[in-house]
Amino acid sequence: MFTYYLRMAIRSFRQNGLLTVLMVLSIATGIGASMTMLTVMHFLSGNPLPGSSQRLFYVQVDAMPDSKPRKDPPDMLDYVSAYDLWKSKRGQRQSIVVDSSIRLQATDTTMTPMMATMLSAHADFFPMFDVPFAYGSGWSAADDEKRSRVVVISAALNNQLFGGINSVGRHLRVRNSDLRIIGVLKPWRPSPKFYTLAGGTFAQGNTADFYGKIEDVMVPFQTGLDINDGYFQQFTCWGMPTTPGSLRNSPCLWLQLWVQLDSAADIASYRQFVSDYVAQQKQLGRISQTNNARILSLLEWLDYNRVVPRDVRLQTWLALAFLIICLFNTVGLLLVKFLRRSGEVGVRRALGAPRGAIFSQCLVESGLIGLLGGIGGLLLTMLGLWLIRQQPLEYADMIHLDMPMFLLTFGLALLSSLIAGIFPAARAARIQPAMQLKAL
């Protein structure tokens, strides 16, 4: 019977070509607009480290001296808190993270010095965040302790300075220090760049720092401080540094700490450890608030920072509203289409066709329209995503239609057309054959 219904639907399309085109265009336009924005939303709200994000936690401690109650602890840590928590080694892995601008030059090339970004972190950064290497490797914990003059560079910088070859063993002059390259990354661009996410940037609509490229050079944390101390950007300060030009003992928030906790027991133990640390620091007079510290999982941290920009959320809701309008339009067109065939339906009913057969035939026709609309919607989605990639947005070049969203496009188109066809099909199935035969 399905084959028969399919032939009848194709015949109906030929008889009412203009009406069919209008319905297909209506569904395709709604699907194209909604799937374009849903794809962007899917990309921006995705998990940057699937499989390991549940083991990664961001540490927050309120070290500000005032006793003013705050709903949430500050997004960053002061040096004393970050270093104390890091050196406790209570997690399976842990790393302090901070980025800064830097001037660098390849010492054995003729290229002029250039401004770049530098990430200062600990050795655990690379295995903790599954950072891929093309050549060499990251530094060791011993390099952290010795403040070794070593550096890992990005694939982009390696291409720019050395033409993409294995540059391990060569040297860079970073500010006033010579560093030996020990590792070159593969192309790596987590989205968002979660490990430096802070400050409510997404909520404010500023996405440049978190959907741009990764840092050009990565160095051991203390090495980075030796090279660039006094040039790091402070998140907030409540006094003047005790040592001018140094942030190691400054009353400022400017560091981030990530820890890896592999089990529920580890998570509970670390939460208690942070709570005990804050209580101890309060007794020492360094911290005034003991109830404003926490650890958040990676996904909780992304959710707290509202990683999807507000304008994208708004555009997605508007696109879905447009899809609903297109479906209502399709309902009206299908109703007109089916009721114009009242005579044909009356004859079939008089010859013994049950209402279920009429209903099924109409739904098959609606589904075929949805399938055609899905193909058109896919083409419009590809066009919409291409247009987005032409925009001056930091994440624009990474927006692509992946397989789940590809399948969702057709599934949504088919489901939408079937939903739109239920009422017209039910109305057509209730046509009384006697009245139609009398009219004939």
Listing DSSP states for 8-66 in one string gives HHHHHHHHTHHHHHHHHHHHHHHHHHHHHHHHHHHHHTS-SSTTTGGGEEEEEE---S-
Mean pLDDT for 245-253 is: 78
- pLDDT tens digits, one per residue of 111-142: 788 999 999 999 999 999 999 999 999 999 99
Percent of the residues in the chain that have a pLDDT greater than 90, as a whole number: 38
CA separation for the pair 422, 359 (Å, rounded): 8
- Whether the ω angle into residue 50 lies within 30 degrees of 0, i.e. cis, is no
b/e sequence 50-88, b meaning 16+ C-beta within 10 Å: eebbebbbbbbbbbbeeeeeeeebbbbbbbbbbbbbbee
Flag the least confident range among 178-182, 292-296, 405-409: 405-409
| Whether pLDDT at 278 is above 70 | yes
Average per-residue pLDDT in the chain? 84
CA separation for the pair 367, 421 (Å, rounded): 8
| Whether pLDDT at 82 is above 90 | yes
CA separation for the pair 95, 56 (Å, rounded): 11
What pLDDT score was predicted for residue 396?
77
Confidence of residue 407 (pLDDT cuts 50, 70, 90): confident
- Residue 234: count other Cβ atoms within 10 Å of its Cβ: 14
Flag the least confident range among 48-62, 174-188, 328-342: 328-342
| Whether pLDDT at 420 is above 70 | yes
Instruction: Please tell me whether residue 386 adopts helix, strand or coil conformation.
Output: helix
What pLDDT score was predicted for residue 121?
97
What pLDDT score was predicted for residue 205?
46
Confidence of residue 1 (pLDDT cuts 50, 70, 90): low
CA separation for the pair 410, 413 (Å, rounded): 5
- pLDDT tens digits, one per residue of 308-330: 767 777 888 888 888 888 888 88
Whole-model pTM: value is 0.78
What does the chain come to in residues? 440
Q: H or E stretch including 314? A: helix 310-339
What pLDDT score was predicted for residue 320?
82
First-to-last C-alpha distance (Å) of the chain? 27
Higher pLDDT, 313 or 165: 165
What pLDDT score was predicted for residue 193?
87
What pLDDT score was predicted for residue 163?
92
- pLDDT tens digits, one per residue of 175-220: 889 999 999 999 998 888 899 988 654 444 455 566 778 999 999 9
Mean pLDDT for 337-344 is: 66
Mean pLDDT for 253-258 is: 94
Higher pLDDT, 22 or 358: 22
Confidence of residue 436 (pLDDT cuts 50, 70, 90): very low
Mean pLDDT for 346-361 is: 67
Asked if 206 and 310 touch (Cβ cutoff 8 Å), the reply is no
Q: H or E stretch including 380? A: helix 355-389
Confidence of residue 2 (pLDDT cuts 50, 70, 90): low
Q: What is the residue extent of each domain of the chain?
A: 2-45+309-439, 53-304
